[in-house]
């Protein structure tokens, strides 16, 4: 009789973590904080547009040469892009799977066919969809120039930004997305703090205040650019 030499393979820690609800929430929280850090830096860079075309274009050029000569041209920028894409994919995937898991856990035979979801849940869900669509449009507009109004000028980001926000639809898309971003950060930061064990009753007011301040600062900071173009402050 042949002996069964197969051994049961135990799932790895990473697989167990990802398979659990707590693990998915942790991935969602950490990836969200990575994106939040990027947004803070990105907003600061955007505000350089108020110092003129030379300052803004110089900053855009610096992003491509930072780390040289140790890093090759644009390698640092691409490294940041890879980390950011990984964070976005991890965040979106964990959010989707948690949503599906939540739906499956609900009893199906209820008198109310449509389950009520909280304001925060709806905001996070639809805000995430809006932001995902915005990122695609934003890249096609100011990175590849595919949907850019007028003539896209590679290496001239100042003029490209002015061109985009000189159109009504460019302003509408951007303003709606930034309002969605503010609400997303306001709810998401607090949720991430709770997931990572930072939140407590003693820190509740502080964390909620910090979430609101971050959401407000980022929203106002990003929105200030199209408003400046619309009002002629930046032209």
What's the predicted TM-score (pTM) here? Answer: 0.86
Mean pLDDT of the chain: 86
pLDDT reported for residue 203: 77
Q: Is the torsion defined by CA of 172, 175, 178, 179 positive or negative? A: negative
pLDDT band with cut points at 50, 70 and 90 for residue 213: very high
CB 88 within 8 A of CB 35: yes
What is the pLDDT, as a whole number, of residue 204? Answer: 80
- Report which of residues 21 and 89 the model is more confident about: 89
pLDDT tier at 171, thresholds 50, 70, 90: very high
Least confident of 18-22, 53-57, 128-132: 18-22
Mean pLDDT of 92-117: 67
Instruction: Copy the structure tokens of residue 201.
Output: 């009753």
Residue 116 pLDDT grade (very low, low, confident, very high; cuts 50, 70, 90): very low
User: What is the rounded end-to-end Cα distance, in angstroms, of the chain?
Assistant: 85
Task: List the one residue out of 173, 175, 170 whose CA is nearest residue 160.
Answer: 170
Task: Report residue 21's pLDDT band, with 50, 70 and 90 as the boundaries.
Answer: confident
More confident residue, 11 or 42: 42
Q: How much is the pLDDT for 110? A: 46
- Segment 136-154 mean pLDDT: 91
* The predicted structure's pLDDT at residue 191: 85
pLDDT confidence of residue 3: 54
Residue 111 has pLDDT above 50, yes or no: no
Considering the chain, what percentage of its residues have pLDDT values greater than 70?
A: 89
CA dihedral 107, 113, 115, 119 (to 10 degrees): 180
Is the pLDDT reported for residue 183 higher than 60?
Answer: yes
Q: Which stretch, 4-8, 95-99, 150-154, 211-215, has highest mean pLDDT? A: 211-215
Chain centroid to Cα 27, Å, comes to 14
Among 73-82, 83-92, 103-112, which stretch is predicted with the lowest mean pLDDT?
103-112
SS3 186: helix
Tell me the two tokens of residue 100.
Answer: 């599906």
Tell me the C-alpha distance between 46 and 137, whole Å.
Answer: 17
Between 11 and 115, whose confidence is greater?
11
What is the tens place of the pLDDT at every residue in 43-60?
999 999 999 999 999 999
């Amino acid at each position: 009789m042949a002996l069964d030499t197969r051994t049961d393979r135990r799932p790895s820690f990473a697989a167990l973590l990802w398979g659990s609800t707590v693990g998915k929430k942790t991935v969602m929280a950490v990836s969200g904080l990575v994106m939040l850090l990027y947004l803070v830096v990105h907003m600061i860079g955007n505000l350089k547009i108020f110092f003129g075309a030379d300052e803004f274009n110089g900053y855009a050029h610096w992003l491509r040469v930072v780390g040289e000569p140790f890093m090759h041209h644009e390698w640092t920028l691409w490294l940041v892009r890879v980390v950011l894409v990984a964070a976005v994919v991890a965040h979106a995937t964990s959010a989707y799977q948690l949503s599906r898991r939540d739906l499956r856990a609900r009893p199906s035979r209820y008198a109310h066919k449509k389950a009520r979801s909280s304001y925060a849940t709806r905001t996070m869900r639809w805000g995430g969809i809006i932001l995902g669509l915005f990122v695609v449009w934003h890249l096609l507009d100011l990175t590849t120039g595919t949907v850019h109004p007028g003539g896209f000028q590679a290496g001239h980001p100042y003029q490209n930004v002015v061109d985009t926000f000189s159109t009504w639809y460019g302003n509408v898309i951007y303003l709606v997305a930034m309002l969605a971003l503010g609400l997303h950060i306001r709810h998401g930061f607090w949720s991430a703090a709770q997931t990572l064990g930072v939140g407590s009753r003693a820190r509740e007011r502080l964390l909620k205040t910090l979430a609101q301040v971050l959401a407000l600062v980022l929203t106002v900071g990003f929105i200030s650019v199209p408003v400046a173009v619309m009002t002629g402050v930046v032209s």
